[in-house]
Amino acid sequence: MTPVGFIGLGQIGAEMARRLLDWPPGLIVHDALASAMTPLTGAGAEAAASPRDLAERAEVISVMVRDDAQVDEVVAGPSGILASAAPGTVVAIHSTIADATAERLAGLAQPYGVSIVDAPVSGGAVGAQHGTLAVLAGGDTEAIERCRAPFGHWASHVMHAGPPGAGTRAKVARNLLHFVAFSAAAEAQRLAEAAGIDLTELGAVVRHSDAVTGGPGAIMLRPTTAPMADDDGLRPILGHARDLGTKDLGLAIELGERLGVELPLARHALDNLETDLGLGEPGTEEA
């Protein structure tokens, strides 16, 4: 075991790095803002003057900077990781970047004997603080296995999505659900507001019940979006969800019509629920 490195100490990165302070061989940190390193160096971490300096001392390095341009600079810039990294070094990129950037950097790193793992995280600063982040990792198996121990200090779930770039593609899909749900929440709030419902109290109910049921992720149980076979064991379960959804969406649309609130997402969901739940052909059930 060797010291681990962490580059990028923003809101989430600082919390991830903090949980690595008890990594036995030590933690080395770097941030473009020197003051961001102070709380960690005061707690026992070593500071690095640059990504290049850090890579001289660490062989598993996490990168949590803002965007593709910063990732490029940290990994492949003149003072970047590749300027000094030893063969066998693994660089895990936790920033949400373009999948093509991850693939390109993996290609650039290969001649140096350095492995790139694109490993965006899900769970935000709270998940980082409590060590419960999820990691969506793309890279070769050996590189990801080398990351599992340090990842385990701040994550409770690691998904190996495939080769470099796959982790980013998985994160993009995950975030699509997240942000489309914001629009659905806003549509629900408009309906509730028109009906005279306390929105903050309703929000508390949504967070409470989703924590119990798993929210929209609760239906993500199948390995394919193709229609289910007639004898699929999930058909009765998702058929029940379809029946409830058809009823409840119909009630919401009817209420919206009475209150003069447009509900385009509700109508789209009602029109597509059967297909979206995998209950179309060749299934035998009818909506």
Asked if residue 283 belongs to a domain, the reply is: no
Asked if residue 236 belongs to a domain, the reply is: yes
Residue where a domain terminates, one of 114, 145, 163: 163
Same domain, 239 and 188: yes
Give the model's pLDDT for residue 260.
98
Asked if residue 220 belongs to a domain, the reply is: yes
Same domain, 46 and 100: yes
Asked if residue 285 belongs to a domain, the reply is: no
145-176: b (≥16 Cβ within 10 Å) or e: ebbeebbebbbeebbbbeebbbbbbbbeebee
CATH number for 194: 1.10.1040.10
What is the CB-side half-sphere exposure of residue 144 using CA atoms within 13 A?
A: 22
Instruction: Report yes or no: 266 and 253 within 8 Å, Cβ to Cβ.
Output: yes
Q: Rounded mean pLDDT of 167-172?
A: 97
pLDDT at 283 over 90: no
Confidence band, pLDDT 50/70/90 cuts, at residue 282: low
Q: Which domain holds residue 182?
A: 170-276
Rounding to the nearest 10 degrees, give the CA dihedral for residues 126, 207, 134, 99. Answer: -100
Total domains, the chain: 2
Residue 215 contacts by C-beta under 8 Å, 6 or more apart in sequence? 181
Asked if residue 132 belongs to a domain, the reply is: yes
What letter represents residue 110's amino acid? Q
Q: Rounded mean pLDDT of 201-216?
A: 96
Confidence band, pLDDT 50/70/90 cuts, at residue 281: confident
Asked if residue 11 belongs to a domain, the reply is: yes
Confidence band, pLDDT 50/70/90 cuts, at residue 284: very low
Average pLDDT, the chain: 96
Catalytic annotation, residues:
171
Question: Residues 220-250: pLDDT tens digits?
Answer: 999 999 999 999 999 999 999 999 999 999 9
Question: Residues 174-205: pLDDT tens digits?
Answer: 999 999 999 999 999 999 999 999 999 999 99
Give the pTM: 0.90
Question: Residues 142-151: pLDDT tens digits?
Answer: 999 999 999 9
Give the model's pLDDT for residue 248.
97
